[in-house]
Amino acid sequence: MQQENKIFPGRISVIQRKLADLKIHGLIFLNIINIRYLSGFTGSDGVLIICPDRSFLLVDGRYTTQAALEVQNIPVIEYKDKVEGIIQAIKDLGLKHIGFEAVSMSVDMYNQLTQRLDDEVLINIGDDLKFLRAYKDETEITLMKKAAAISSAAIAALIRDIKPGCTERELALQLELHARRAGADQLAFEAIVAAGENSALPHAQPTDRKIKAGDFIVIDFGVKYKGYCSDETCTFAFGQLTDQQKNAYQIVKQAHDDAIAAIRTNVTASTVDHCARSVLGEKYGQYFPHGTGHGVGLEVHEAPRLAPNSQDVLEAQMVVTVEPGLYIPGLWGIRIEDTVLVKENSCEIFTKMDKQLLIIN
């Protein structure tokens, strides 16, 4: 708790120091994940207002007690109506140029606010906050390593449950049980357990399809631990594979390994994506329809973005995934994903599963 008392004021002061450069008198946060990051409040709704010398957390009656328990150093104000609460705060504080994140405000709320404001102006500064949570501090890194250890342990435990005739749906349930027993607070996203032709769908949902010989089984899994996400994908083989399947697995593994080897501070995200994509080459490149990776933190998908057209640059303390895939429609798919911490000359892999081809019999 002692440590947390310093973390949140430290994060808020980073924002406060930016206000003058952004030419705004205050900043309204509506994104509940950013509010959690800056204040420690874990509720599902609220407003954080940051001014150069003070901050306020606005919540509705459901969260007044919780916010007072979770948030130190920031006064908590209860509102009956969210728009009213924001207008009242803007007027009381005398804010004129007010920053906000357009991506987190509905058109309806924007219209309501602007109709009620007089000479005050709302200014979208979303682009300037893009990397707000991208650099992880030591506390965050510790929590993310723990989240990764829990989800890897759950995948490892699941291997023993994979039997002929069991369904994707049953395996997804077992996976969640293993993870919750290992200490997961919740899933970071709905688990993907996709076998055979279903593994060719990058975002498949578990079905009643039964596991059978010759299947690839793609398991994309992540948990939340104290708010922080993990993200890992293993592709297992069930029974004997064809030579083409075995060869394709090795190609995706090489793409994964080459991309991981390219990660270091100051490398462009598009370069890392290219390292993976070029291994797939002309033959298989057309079957890799998504980016090579993404940032992970309080959200499972956050900045930066590792993709061909990304302008992002990787820097130390960022945590990103590397997840090349290969999906042959109607037949099978392969994805191999690790979550890594960017370091000065390399990266540290958080996720624990070995990515050599595992054949389960």
Q: Which is nearer to Zn ion, 70 or 220 (CB)?
A: 220
Q: Please, what is the minimum distance in Å from the beta carbon of residue 73 to Zn ion?
A: 34
Q: Which is nearer to Zn ion, 220 or 257 (CB)?
A: 220
CA angle 227, 230, 233 (to 5 degrees): 155
Measuring CA to CA, how many Å separate 73 from each of 8, 120, 149? 9, 27, 33
Instruction: Yes or no: say if 256 and 276 are a contact pair by the CB < 8 Å rule.
Output: yes
Q: Which is nearer to Zn ion, 39 or 339 (CB)?
A: 339
Tokens standing for residue 80: 């009956």
Signed CA dihedral, 262, 265, 271, 273: sign only:
positive
Burial tier of 334 (Cβ tally within 10 Å: 0-12, 13-18, 19+): buried
The Cα 274–Cα 278 span in angstroms is 6
Q: Which is nearer to Zn ion, 233 or 310 (CB)?
A: 233
DSSP 73-140: SS-EEE-SSHHHHHHHHHHHHT--EEEE-GGGS-HHHHHHHHHH-SS-EEEE-GGGGTTTTTB--HHH
Q: Please, what is the minimum distance in Å from the beta carbon of residue 192 to Zn ion?
A: 7
Q: Which is nearer to Zn ion, 70 or 232 (CB)?
A: 232
Q: Please, what is the minimum distance in Å from the beta carbon of residue 335 to Zn ion?
A: 8
Q: Please, what is the minimum distance in Å from the beta carbon of residue 235 to Zn ion?
A: 12
Q: Which is nearer to Zn ion, 258 or 323 (CB)?
A: 323
What are the percentages of helix, strand and coil residues in the chain, rounded to 5?
40, 25, 35
DSSP 226-282: TTEE--EEEEEEESPPPHHHHHHHHHHHHHHHHHHHH--TT-BHHHHHHHHHHHHHH
Instruction: Yes or no: say if 162 and 289 are a contact pair by the CB < 8 Å rule.
Output: no
Q: Please, what is the minimum distance in Å from the beta carbon of residue 304 to Zn ion?
A: 13
Q: Please, what is the minimum distance in Å from the beta carbon of residue 331 to Zn ion?
A: 21
Q: Please, what is the minimum distance in Å from the beta carbon of residue 188 to Zn ion?
A: 9
Q: Which is nearer to Zn ion, 122 or 223 (CB)?
A: 223
- Binding positions for Zn ion, rule: CB under 5 A: 220, 231, 233, 321, 337
Q: Which is nearer to Zn ion, 101 or 299 (CB)?
A: 299
Q: Please, what is the minimum distance in Å from the beta carbon of residue 341 to Zn ion?
A: 15
